Amino acid sequence: MALIETKDVTYTYPGATKPSITEVSIRIERGEFALITGPSGCGKTTLCRCFNGLIPHFYQGEIKGEVTVAGLDVAEHEIFELAKHVGLVFQNPENQLFALSVEKDVAFGLENLGLPREEMRKKVDWALNLTEIYDLRERAPHELSGGQQQRVAIASVLAMQPEVIVLDEPTSFLDPLSAKKIFEVIYDLNRKLGITVVLVEHRLDLTAKYASHIIIMDEGRIAQDGDPREILRSEEARLIGVGIPKATRLYQILKKDGARLGETVPLSSDEMATTIKEALENH
Amino acid sequence: MIEAKDIHFTYPNGVEALKGVSLTIQNGEFVAIMGQNGAGKTTLVKHFNGLLKPTKGQVLVDNVDVKKVSVASLAKSVGFVFQNPDHQLFSETVEEEISFALKNFGFEKSVTEARVTWALNLLGLTQYRKTSPFMLSGGERKRVALASVLAWDPKILMLDEPTIGQDYQQKEKLRQFILQMKTQRKTIIIVTHDVEFVAECNPRVLLMREGKIVADGEAKTILTNPSVLMQASIVPPQVVQIFLQLPELNLPKNVIDVYEAREILLNILEKKAR
């Protein structure tokens, strides 16, 4: 059974004249690293809000269809119950952080689960170390830079060790090296701990190589859904306005001009460099 | 023209954010300021519209010392779009948000309306004219914030992380728009981490690290210099990364554009095939 499954989900925010997402049916299997992308305003964030129950419990409005996460029907379970299974990291960390210290923010979800103090301590330290903010643990989140705040937001979700973490452009305030580090942390969680990842991102240059599954949305609907290498080589993806990684784009236009390159579509500069080397050796 | 003369800035909490920055930005220049979080990029540009005043040193905007004028009087010529649109937006509808400054500057109603319509159209927001900015997605809110500044047509436009949350088409529109502003001799300063966007625009790049400028030059030169980029925690653009991994091919340096890279690689692949 899929870890996240939506069946024909259509949702309209209160007061809106048209739905933000329309007849969305997707399946994300356990252990996948799923990338959701698409033009700004296409419904990505709205879809994520369905995964942890913010829709329909917090956002009213009109919902049709079914959302199941870890076997639970989202409409029938409260947000706090779903939080044990799904962690959501928002686009804007300021919307998420509220405690007086970083440590308290990271511990908040665990306190609500009523864990013993020692276990809580361990999990909090683990999450702080993974995101490299252990030294900031006594600082007030609102004093931190945007990038540091994003790390706190990610740490507070990680501390819960959920089965799936949903990250909505989690590194948009970080510089590229810090962003890369965070993506590697997330990728490690996926590879080593088997945590399912759903990542919403525009910047495929940085993230496509991690993905095992890509979903492209356009105007509230699912436009493409499948293997990243297949989907990102297609002209359709580019025409929707998806920022194809430059390495993949270079492969695409070289192929179009008749260059004899291998059939595996590169998703990163490393893969593209290898593709070129192989092409030269094979001549 | 903007001139900074050995400016230093220390925040009230003691953090020394700028440690001696000198630079000149001419009218009509397009400058990208890049560097790690906390390098002082935003602190620097906030000196150009008077939001911050240097602790030491001097900033002149069109020969006027920013210490001697108010932010309000500078705002008309220096527009600043914040990194986080939520720090900027407050109105009930997108239309009110965009017309707010225009009304304050005392533009006539007909002018205000025309400017609002123009800005909405330019940024693809026309359908949201009567919508609350807070109903919009992150990327759309960012565009509302940009529209509200563009509407009053400042001479100098400063954009803090303009590409965050923007899809490829929006970035392309932004690029076109910046080029158009350049032809009108407007000065555009962006603070950005988006190395691929910079590679597509090829502006003048100022690289900052720990409150200082560590490199200043054409994007082509700076983005292809891995040791300089490393200092500022910047990952080179993908085209550069690919070229760096193929040293045995003796590829030309200074290539950041994907189409230029195609020409070069096609040549080599075809030669080999013969």
Instruction: Check CB contact under 8 Å for A41 and B136.
Output: yes
CATH fold of B2-77+154-236, please? Rossmann fold (3.40.50)
Q: How far apart are the first and last CA of chain A?
A: 46
- Nearest CA to B189 out of B170, B205, B209, B169 is that of B205
Q: Which residues in chain B touch residue A135, judged by CB atoms under 8 angstroms apart?
A: none
Length of chain A: 283
SS3 labels along chain A:
CCCEEEEEEEEECCCCCCCCEEEEEEEECCCCEEEEECCCCCCHHHHHHHHCCHHHHHCCCEEEEEEEECCEEHHHCCHHHHCCCEEEECCCHHHCCCCCCHHHHHHHHHHHHCCCHHHHHHHHHHHHHHCCCHHHCCCCHHHCCHHHHHHHHHHHHHCCCCCEEEEECCCCCCCHHHHHHHHHHHHHHHHHHCCEEEEECCCHHHHHHHCCEEEEEECCEEEEEECHHHHHCCHHHHHHCCCCCHHHHHHHHHHHCCCCCCCCCCCCHHHHHHHHHHHHHHC
Average pLDDT over residues B72-78: 85
Average pLDDT over residues B199-203: 93
B56 beta partners: B8
Q: What is the pLDDT of residue B106?
A: 87
Domain assignments of chain B as residue spans, ordered by start: 2-77+154-236, 91-150
- Nearest CA to A221 out of A53, A8, A74 is that of A8
Chain CA centroid to CA B77, Å: 16
Q: Does residue B127 surpass a pLDDT of 90?
A: yes
**What's the pLDDT band for A119 if we cut at 50, 70, 90?**
very high
Strands B56-61 and B64-65: antiparallel
Sheet holding A4-12, edge to edge: A21-28, A4-12, A62-69, A72-73
Q: Phi/psi of residue B93, each to 5°?
A: -130, 160
- CA A97, A101, A103, A105: dihedral to nearest 10 degrees? -20
CA distance A119 to chain B (A): 33
**What's the pLDDT band for A266 if we cut at 50, 70, 90?**
very high
Share of chain A above pLDDT 90, in %: 60
Share of chain A above pLDDT 70, in %: 100
Between B173 and A91, the more confident residue is B173
Q: What is the pLDDT of residue B165?
A: 74
Q: What is the pLDDT of residue A282?
A: 78
Between B169 and B244, the more confident residue is B244
Q: Is any Cβ of chain A less than 8 angstroms from the Cβ of B84?
A: yes
Residues A95 and A174: beta-carbon distance below 8 Å: no
Strands A213-218 and A33-37: parallel
Q: Which residues in chain A touch residue B171, judged by CB atoms under 8 angstroms apart?
A: 243
Q: What is the pLDDT of residue A169?
A: 87
Sheet holding A213-218, edge to edge: A86-89, A164-168, A196-200, A33-37, A213-218, A221-226
Q: What is the pLDDT of residue A178?
A: 77
Q: What is the pLDDT of residue B243?
A: 96
Q: What is the radius of gyration, based on Cα positions, of chain B?
A: 20
Instruction: Check CB contact under 8 Å for B138 and A92.
Output: yes
- CA A200, B126, B119, B189: dihedral to nearest 10 degrees? 0
Average pLDDT over residues B11-33: 95
- What is the per-residue pLDDT across A202-251, written as a single tens digit (0 to 9) for each? 889 889 999 999 999 999 999 999 999 999 988 888 888 788 999 999 99
pTM for the model: 0.83
CA distances from A238 to A9, A39, A209, B143, B259 (A): 25, 11, 17, 22, 16
User: Amino acid letter at B215?
Assistant: A
Q: Does residue A180 surpass a pLDDT of 80?
A: yes
Instruction: Check CB contact under 8 Å for B37 and A145.
Output: yes
- Least trusted range by pLDDT, from A183-192, A245-254, B6-15, B58-67: A183-192
Enter the tokens of residue B225. Answer: 């210099």
Share of chain B above pLDDT 70, in %: 100
Q: Does residue B199 surpass a pLDDT of 80?
A: yes
Q: Does residue B88 surpass a pLDDT of 80?
A: no
Q: What is the pLDDT of residue A203?
A: 86
Sheet holding B187-191, edge to edge: B78-81, B156-160, B187-191, B30-35, B204-209, B212-218
Q: What is the pLDDT of residue A283?
A: 65
From B34, which residue of chain A is nearest by alpha-carbon distance?
A175
**What's the pLDDT band for A49 if we cut at 50, 70, 90?**
very high
Q: Phi/psi of residue A111, each to 5°?
A: -55, -40
CA distances from B50 to B2, B21, B62, B65 (A): 12, 16, 13, 9
Instruction: Check CB contact under 8 Å for B137 and A45.
Output: yes
CA distance B106 to chain A (A): 33
Average pLDDT over residues A143-165: 86
Average pLDDT over residues A88-114: 83
- Least trusted range by pLDDT, from A123-132, A191-200, B137-146: B137-146
